[in-house]
Amino acid sequence: MDADALLGAHGELLGRLLPGDAPTELTVCEGQFHYVVIGSERVVRLARTDAAAARLPSRVAVLRVLSGLDLGVRVPEPLAVAGPDDVVPYVVLTRVPGAPLVEGTVSGPEVAEVVARQCHALLSRLFAAGGDQAIRESIPPAPADRWRQFADGVRAELYPLMHASGRTRAERELTALEALPQLSSAVVHGDLGGANLLWDNVDGLPALRGVVDWDDVCLGDPAEDFAAVGAYGPEVLRRVLAHTDGPTGDLVARIAAIQGTFALQQALAAYRDGDDEELADGLTGYR
């Protein structure tokens, strides 16, 4: 459903949920499980599937927990929710200020250090939150078989699309991933990079303002969020690790194993979503 069709179908509802925002001023994004309508002060997420609708109450409960944490940045706060029994399941969230960093802006030692210090501060707070018993009772642990399930999906769905050397490469990467220990020491965002970290500009330097899209939050291995922050470049990740207390050798190895499957993660999601362009990009070098 394109933006015009969505606004036409749900215009009355959105008018109530986003008072003061003209339809022409709204931004509409389409995700795998939700349509996201962004207003000036609020964001509405409309569930696309019955499964996504069923998850709304639990996702709202987790966001309420997260909004009470001292993460040093803002997270979306739930304002209203309509669950799976409503005609149009939705959740209304506060809009978090800021914008993703434009690709190529994290260049030069000064900018890399500023970004690294702020990412490290966020990662440290997420790790500390993982030791809070109240938080541990509110946020689910990562599924014990998550990497095995992912690897099985790649082998069943993507291997037929690969040449022999591509399958050999993928098998090596998946084997390293499946060997990772089952950890639950930190609150893990699950996609801590790219469009989900929102920044401002202060005196010409990036200032981290907020984190959005907590759908995959769990208790898990902090290496997963370190790996995602590495999308800002190896220099930023190196500096983040330099600020990390204690030995980091095992952490670095876990980060490398997770980063080694980023292309396969992209490809599998794209295959299941029918996104041929993203699939082709993810399978570059595998076929």
Residues taking part in catalysis: 191
Query: Quick one: DSSP state of residue 188?
Result: E
- The Cα–Cα gap between 196 and 200 comes to 13
Tokens at 20, concatenated: 């003061």
- The Cα–Cα gap between 113 and 101 comes to 15
- The Cα–Cα gap between 265 and 44 comes to 27
**Backbone dihedral region of 106: left (phi > 0), alpha (psi from -120 to 50 degrees) or beta?**
beta
Q: CB–CB of 47/33 below 8 Å?
A: yes
Tokens at 44, concatenated: 């509405």
DSSP element (H, E) containing 219? strand 218-220
Alpha-helical (H) ranges within the chain are 3-17, 50-67, 109-129, 133-136, 146-153, 164-178, 223-229, 234-242, 249-259, 262-273, 276-282
**Backbone dihedral region of 179: left (phi > 0), alpha (psi from -120 to 50 degrees) or beta?**
alpha
Closest alpha carbon to 32 in 277, 275, 280: 275
